[in-house]
Chains A and B, each alone.
Chain A
Amino acid sequence: MSIAVLTLAALSFLFASLLVLAHRKLHVDEDPRIDAAHQMLPGTNCGACGFPGCLGLAEAMVSGSALPGKCTVMNEDEREDVAQFLGVDAGAEEKVVARLACAGGTNVARNRARYEGLESCRAATLVAGGGKACFWGCLGLGDCEVVCDLDAIYMDDHNLPVVIEDACTACGDCVDACPKDLFSLHPVSHHLWVACKNLEKGDAVLADCEVACDACGKCAVDAPAGVISMVDNLPVIDYSRNHNVRKAIERCPTGAIVWFEKDKGPVAGRAAPKVIRQRSRQSSPT
């Protein structure tokens, strides 16, 4: 009995001293500011900054390779706090949000068939492209809403996702989730926006969706030369030029090109038809 106790005591003493030695020998001096900065970050680990989680950004900020402005989740004051704590410039990064290139909710876009199966856009895409008449349009089953950890996307009454700009951190999860590739990340200063991806033109497009781009090209004519060009029956905005031209949307006959206004969301031009229908558009069978 006593031998056992003594052996165990000796062993535990031995291992304890080994641990103490290892602790001294292998000790790494970590900047205490990393931990403190990490505490100040929001902890969502969304990855929008481009670093592996909030700790990654904290390390980068302390080492000087990134500025607090990289974090799109914090508000202005919080960013300033972190900047003051680290004694660096906050670094003004413009807010970037996810934007949806489709306006075809169930009230304006026609369904050609009724989809039955797993409630997921990605699954529906594999069954004859889903039931929507427009091949490029939003299927409205909400994969983006599910994938968004920050609750920045909700599905509206017409099964179209809406991005809450204040909550969106541009982490890009919805961009990956959408099987139709409708989401992309844009600075909030990009007011001019084409909310359609339909590559066809003319009346055939409008039969499928009332707010689709029918490739009339009026926006390209109205904008200063070079800002909007028509490529594959869709207007493409050159954001490297001065794109702050609201008049480009005014003559759009369908409202496919819109103006994003702070707190108001997408606004269509004067010539766009006012859709007041609340219920779904009638679907023709198969």
Chain B
Amino acid sequence: MLGLAHNDSFSHGIHPPEMKDETSHLSIRRFPFAPLLIVPLSQHLGKPAVPVVRAGQEIVRGQVIAEADGFVSVNMHAPASGIVKKIALAPGIGGNMLESVYIEPYPASSQEVQDGEPCDLDTASADDIIGAIQRAGIVGLGGAAFPTHVKLKPPEGKRLDTLIINGVECEPYLTTDHRVMLEQTADIFNGIRYLLKATGAAESLIAIEGNKSDAARKLHDECPSDLPVSIRVCPVKYPQGAEKMVIRSLLKREIPSGGLPADVGAICVNVATTAEIGRLLPRGHGIQERVITIGGPGVKRKGNYRIPVGTTVRFALEEAGAAKDISRVFLGGPMMGPSVSNLDIPITKGTSGITAFTTVQINEATGHQKIYPCIHCARCVEACPLFLNPSQLGILAKNEEYDRMVEDYHLMDCFECGACSYVCPSHIPLVQYFRLSKKMIRKLGAAQ
């Protein structure tokens, strides 16, 4: 492709079926308001927000309903105009119960959003922008839901030179970032301006995977000439979209074990997050909706939707038309997305999609799958993008030798991309072992 910088990739990794063709050409559509919206006070990593509304109160779409509690926390905004029914426990993605605000939208609730205090790009200082991002409730929309403003403030003594906008989206089935890049191109560049000012970085790179060439082309063509942005197209490979992998591919820098991107002078922000910053900050709005892909073989009307935060998975699937024998539902993609045990959980800021499968496919893929012993074929070793040894880690996890897993095999660097479990011919649930081990290590560490 002329004029676009092609980029090397990282070593290792896998090539799962991309499955993006069914939704990648469908433009983003608005989703109706559900009769009941459940907004958890903890949709981000960090301290839950503190509610500032009470049961029975009338609220307007876009109004702040909960305020950040401390620095690692963000505001919550009303997804619809309506009435606060109650503030009570509601099931969350992890199967846990979270304090949430139940909102009953008015039947004819408008999509109009109440304007807040705008953050003007020309006059605002770096700290003003960081504060505005926190007030807007912006978190990493790629799935981790880490408060974005915390990332923008690097630890003392660290300088950021490069801003990476992550539009890789390597998860199968998901096409939200793809559509955002095509439809919110101007917002993205606006967001980059805010982010460059807030971080003081000199240049920015937009990373895109090769299967989204139309988006790369559009961003390249519409890039304002005064903005230090270059578009980099990476080869299609999973997990190209992981922060560590993007930085490795684009900058050839390696984040030290246990370190942050700031340690190598880089900051990585998801492209949808950037677009939201560019869209919301000039108007003083907050995140009260997000773009998700509802897809997978278990969904009839697949598509990309702008859905209010707090819509339950059940309502979303009913609206999009779920197959009768729907059997497994993931929030996000099938590689890293958590599977849900309850359809009444709300879609939060960190949910990038709903992927549903039917019984037939699940049975074909994993049904009656027996776990065999490790045959030391080393396929997982060749798949692991971090050069860990999943085979040995799996054996140690089975024997509960947690100390050796951490000290000799660097378990804590694993970001659970699932490449090892995907290639394992013995069907060993390696990532589940690692998650369990990490949990046990944290528990044992806390006990000491």
A127 at the interface (CB under 8 A from B): yes
Closest-CB distance, B336 to chain A (whole angstroms)? 13
Closest-CB distance, A200 to chain B (whole angstroms)? 6
B94 touching A122, Cβ below 8 Å: no
A129 touching B436, Cβ below 8 Å: no
B97 at the interface (CB under 8 A from A): yes
A8 at the interface (CB under 8 A from B): no
Against A, the Cβ 8 Å flags (1 = close, 0 = not) of B425-448 are 000010011011001100000000
Known contacts A130-B95, A200-B89, A286 near B343 by CB under 8 Å: yes
CA distance A115 to B340 in the complex (A): 10
Closest-CB distance, B307 to chain A (whole angstroms)? 19
A129 touching B440, Cβ below 8 Å: no
A128 touching B342, Cβ below 8 Å: yes
Residues on A with beta carbons closer than 8 Å to the beta carbon of B97: 135, 199-200
A112 at the interface (CB under 8 A from B): yes
A128 touching B341, Cβ below 8 Å: yes
With both beta carbons as reference points, the residue of chain A lying nearest to B368 in the complex is identified as A116
A45 at the interface (CB under 8 A from B): no
A118 touching B94, Cβ below 8 Å: no
A14 at the interface (CB under 8 A from B): no
B93 at the interface (CB under 8 A from A): yes
A159 at the interface (CB under 8 A from B): no
B327 touching A129, Cβ below 8 Å: no
Cross-interface CB contact of A120 among B89, B91, B339, B436, cutoff 8 Å: B436
A125 at the interface (CB under 8 A from B): yes
Of residues 76 through 132 on chain A, the ones whose CB sits less than 8 Å from some CB of chain B are 112-113, 115-118, 120, 122-123, 125-131
A32 at the interface (CB under 8 A from B): no
B89 touching A113, Cβ below 8 Å: no
Instruction: Say what secondary structure dominates the interface of chain B.
Output: mixed
A118 touching B436, Cβ below 8 Å: yes
B399 at the interface (CB under 8 A from A): no
Cross-interface CB contact of B429 among A112, A117, A199, cutoff 8 Å: A117
CA distance A233 to B327 in the complex (A): 34
Residues on A with beta carbons closer than 8 Å to the beta carbon of B429: 117-118
B225 at the interface (CB under 8 A from A): no
With both beta carbons as reference points, the residue of chain A lying nearest to B366 in the complex is identified as A116
Residues on B with beta carbons closer than 8 Å to the beta carbon of A285: 326-327
Against A, the Cβ 8 Å flags (1 = close, 0 = not) of B97-136 are 1000000000000000000000000000000000000000
A199 touching B436, Cβ below 8 Å: no
With both beta carbons as reference points, the residue of chain A lying nearest to B345 in the complex is identified as A128
Interface size band for B: 20 to 34
CA distance A110 to B376 in the complex (A): 40
B96 at the interface (CB under 8 A from A): yes
Known contacts A135-B95, A286-B326, A286-B327, A127 near B342 by CB under 8 Å: no
A126 touching B432, Cβ below 8 Å: yes
Closest-CB distance, A16 to chain B (whole angstroms)? 41
Cross-interface CB contact of A129 among B89, B94, B326, B343, cutoff 8 Å: B94
Known contacts A128-B341, A128-B342, A286-B327, A122 near B432 by CB under 8 Å: no
Cross-interface CB contact of B342 among A112, A120, A122, cutoff 8 Å: A112
Closest-CB distance, B431 to chain A (whole angstroms)? 10
Closest-CB distance, B160 to chain A (whole angstroms)? 34
Closest-CB distance, B40 to chain A (whole angstroms)? 14
B96 touching A129, Cβ below 8 Å: yes
Closest-CB distance, B188 to chain A (whole angstroms)? 33
Against B, the Cβ 8 Å flags (1 = close, 0 = not) of A3-40 are 00000000000000000000000000000000000000
Closest-CB distance, A102 to chain B (whole angstroms)? 16
Residues on B with beta carbons closer than 8 Å to the beta carbon of A130: 95, 341
Against A, the Cβ 8 Å flags (1 = close, 0 = not) of B69-90 are 0000000000000000000010
B436 touching A122, Cβ below 8 Å: yes
B163 at the interface (CB under 8 A from A): no
Residues on A with beta carbons closer than 8 Å to the beta carbon of B343: 286
Closest-CB distance, A181 to chain B (whole angstroms)? 11
Beyond A135-B91, A199-B89, A286-B329: 6 further Cβ-contacts under 8 Å? A113-B340, A117-B432, A122-B439, A126-B436, A127-B95, A127-B338
Q: Which 5 residue pairs across A and B have the least CB separation, nearest first?
A: A129-B95, A128-B341, A113-B341, A128-B95, A123-B436
Residues of chain A having any CB pair with chain B under 8 Å: 112-113, 115-118, 120, 122-123, 125-131, 133, 135, 199-200, 285-286
Q: Could you jot down 22 A-B contacts, CB within 8 Å?
A: A113-B340, A117-B429, A118-B436, A122-B439, A122-B440, A123-B432, A125-B95, A126-B436, A126-B439, A127-B95, A127-B341, A127-B432, A129-B95, A129-B341, A135-B95, A135-B96, A135-B97, A199-B89, A200-B89, A200-B97, A286-B329, A286-B342
